[in-house]
Amino acid sequence: MTGGAVRQRLPQIKQQCKEKNMQALIVGGDRIESVKRQILAQGYDHIEHWSGRKKGFLNRSLSSRTRLIVLMYDYVNHSLAITLKSKAHRQGIPVVYCRHSAHELRDKLSNRKETDACCYCYSF
């Protein structure tokens, strides 16, 4: 999808997502502003961030509004990644694994099906 096509479709995607009250969760990373911008461009209206540096994150529960998990695998330990993967699988939430790179995240998010922009579980 070209940049122009994304810009044309963005208001429609944002409206659909706002109606669904969708939230994304970013796990890992310290400076995540560029990653937040990529997720907001996909139409999510709220972004939660877990640094993933403390043991307590293993016991946290996912919000019922969470519709996407972005796991920055350079910044989290294996046990947290495995725990999040199983929680997401049980709730049908897609997980995007990427390094701390907004470009990589944008590419992975744009590979989703065009027609189902924000309502279904995707396999990446």
* pLDDT tens digits along 92-106: 999 999 887 788 888
Of 51, 99, 49, nearest to 69 by C-alpha is 49
Q: What is the pTM of this model?
A: 0.72
Please list the residues that pair with 96 across neighbouring strands.
70
pLDDT at 8 > cutoff 80:
no
**Can you give the residue ranges of every domain in the chain?**
3-110
Checking if the pLDDT of 60 tops 80, the result is yes
**Residues 106-122: pLDDT tens digits?**
888 887 644 344 443 44
**CATH classification code of 3-110:** 3.40.50.10700
Calculate mean pLDDT across residues 26-35: 88
Q: Please, what's the b/e burial string for 51-61 (b: 16 or more CB within 10 A of its CB; e: otherwise)?
A: ebeeeebeebe
Contact assessment for residue 98 and residue 75, using Cβ atoms and an 8 Å cutoff: no
Dihedral of alpha carbons 11, 17, 20, 22, sign: negative
